[in-house]
Structure 1
Amino acid sequence: MKRVLEACQLYRFYHAGDEETLALRGVSLYVDVGEIVAVMGPSGSGKSTLLSCLVGLDEPDGGYVQVCGNRLTRRTEEERAVIRGMHIGILLQSRNLFSHLTVADNIRLKLRQLRSKDESKIRSLLSWVHMEERIDAYPSQLSGGEAARAGLALALCADPKLLVADEPTGEVDLDTETSILRLLDERRSSGGATLIATHSDRVAALADRVITIHDGRIANEFDQPEIRSIT
């Protein structure tokens, strides 16, 4: 299978005065085409730090990340933004929505950033997540489940090869979680790769593999890929 995401020996530490916190301790993982991989672990285990490093919103202090064969680490923010825009869809717990824009205008803005003028894509994306009737709503007018689905539509604007999601079902009801899982499963069947940080056993059950992180380390060592030399 073609590898979409590869992270090798990631380290990340933070300083607060004389205190040093090692948030990631040599984390390695991979995601292949058509895979859903769940990352699980207790609060404070390093999941959010890991996701930030994997999508280039944070820079690891050691190791490297490759997305679709492109080195993401140790590049300028402008270079990382280009790679993100081409290959990665990001769904954060904030749902990615600008509060002063309607659902449609949030997606329209993203399409403009992608230099796309295809207005029909707005309705097709919202139809896919069953949100077409809320096209003119503002984020403050959405329920938690609606915001989650609108955020998912926004993350998938560019048809990214990789979706990285942080607790996409964390604040939704059972029916909405079922709907989101069904959408992710549909995406997998068309070759889309997904990495999800989650506490949900239902998300874990959908995943092809579950990686457990604890205290900044991968707990299930068999999920660590073979370490290759950096070229």
Structure 2
Amino acid sequence: MLSLKHVSKSYQNGSEVTHALNDVSFDIESNQVTVILGPSGSGKSTTLNILGGMDRPTSGTVTYNNNFINTESDKQLTDYRKEIVGFVFQFYNLISNLTVFENVAISAQLENKKYRNITEKYLQKVGLLKRKNNFPDQLSGGEMQRVSIARALAKSPKVLLCDEPTGALDTETSKRVFEILKKSKSKDTAVVIVTHNPLVAPIADRVIHIKDGRVDKIIDNPSPLEVEEVDWG
């Protein structure tokens, strides 16, 4: 579905050049949970930005269903982000002056004119339909993250990109979030979780280890664990 081939990314600040990624290649498949795992500064966020069409590689190619996206115009990349990619961020990025329903409906309207039904469907899926008229500051951190997942899913993304989605949550709340994300994969949807937490790896179908801007190793897991089967320490 989504493929990086020999991708490198450099940033220049005056005379200093920082190499964030160096010759990175891997594939993302639908109906899989892929975990991109690495320590802080390893290149995970840069990789996510390139996968999501928020940044372009310095060299190499990025393809979605065999169509090159790294050479597309800014408008085409905007369309790619709007139509193909759903984002779940560490700190939720909800709009504070909109209700829970309205935060999700923004995405649902992109998918279908029957956005009210779609919005309620995904709020029910994450267990927050009863909180639809609340504002974000009336929710717990875990509830806000579940709203952000509902918002991402409401647009029926083909690629769901999750950037440290439980980094600000306690263990029990994190487990619930991972359960929702794991169930979000389908024959049409790939789920990608970017994290520094190695405890997440056993739930994934594929784990891509990144170190110092390179792919250190890729592990395919034919029998990923359910969230409740993982020893979360």
Q: What interval of TM-score do these two structures reach, taking the shorter chain for normalisation?
A: 0.7 to 0.9
Summarize deviations over 1:27-76 as a string: whole Å, max 9, x none.
11111121111111111111011100111101111112112333211211
Superposition deviation, residue 139 in structure 1: 2.0
Residue 128 of structure 2 corresponds to 131
2:27 to 19, 25, 30: 30
Matched residue of 2:193: which SS? strand
Provide the rounded CA distance (Å) in 2 between the counterparts of 1:92 and 1:221: 24
1:6 to 3, 6, 9: 3
2:193 to 189, 196, 208: 196
CA contact (8 A) 2:24 2:214 kept: yes
1:67 aligns with 2:50: no
The one-letter amino acid of 2:209's match is: T
The one-letter amino acid of 2:132's match is: I
Residue 87 of structure 2 corresponds to 90
The one-letter amino acid of 2:18's match is: T
Residue 99 of structure 1 corresponds to 96
Relative to structure 1, is the Cα distance of residues 181 and 191 closer, same or farther in structure 2, using a 3 angstrom cutoff? farther
Q: TM-score, normalised by structure 2?
A: 0.87
Residue 118 of structure 2 corresponds to 121
Provide the rounded CA distance (Å) in 2 between the counterparts of 1:36 and 1:78: 29
Q: RMSD in angstroms over aligned alpha carbons?
A: 1.9
Matched residue of 1:136: which SS? coil
% of aligned pairs identical?
36
Alignment gaps of 5+ in structure 2: 221-233
Provide the rounded CA distance (Å) in 2 between the counterparts of 1:101 and 1:63: 40
Provide the rounded CA distance (Å) in 2 between the counterparts of 1:77 and 1:116: 26
Provide the rounded CA distance (Å) in 1 between the counterparts of 2:219 and 2:150: 34
Residue 228 of structure 1 corresponds to none
Matched residue of 1:187: which SS? coil
CA contact (8 A) 2:182 2:191 kept: no
Superposition deviation, residue 87 in structure 1: 1.9
Q: TM-score, normalised by structure 1?
A: 0.88
Residue 202 of structure 2 corresponds to 205
Summarize deviations over 1:9-32 as a string: whole Å, max 9, x none.
111111112111011111111111
Equivalent pairs counted in the alignment come to 220
Superposition deviation, residue 185 in structure 1: 2.5
Summarize deviations over 1:114-163 as a string: whole Å, max 9, x none.
46343111111111011112212222222111111111111111211211
Provide the rounded CA distance (Å) in 2 between the counterparts of 1:25 and 1:12: 7
Relative to structure 1, is the Cα distance of residues 92 and 41 closer, same or farther in structure 2, using a 3 angstrom cutoff? same
Residue 17 of structure 2 corresponds to 20
Provide the rounded CA distance (Å) in 2 between the counterparts of 1:62 and 1:222: 25
Provide the rounded CA distance (Å) in 1 between the counterparts of 2:151 and 2:32: 21
Relative to structure 1, is the Cα distance of residues 202 and 131 closer, same or farther in structure 2, using a 3 angstrom cutoff? farther
CA contact (8 A) 1:70 1:83 kept: no
Residue 229 of structure 1 corresponds to none
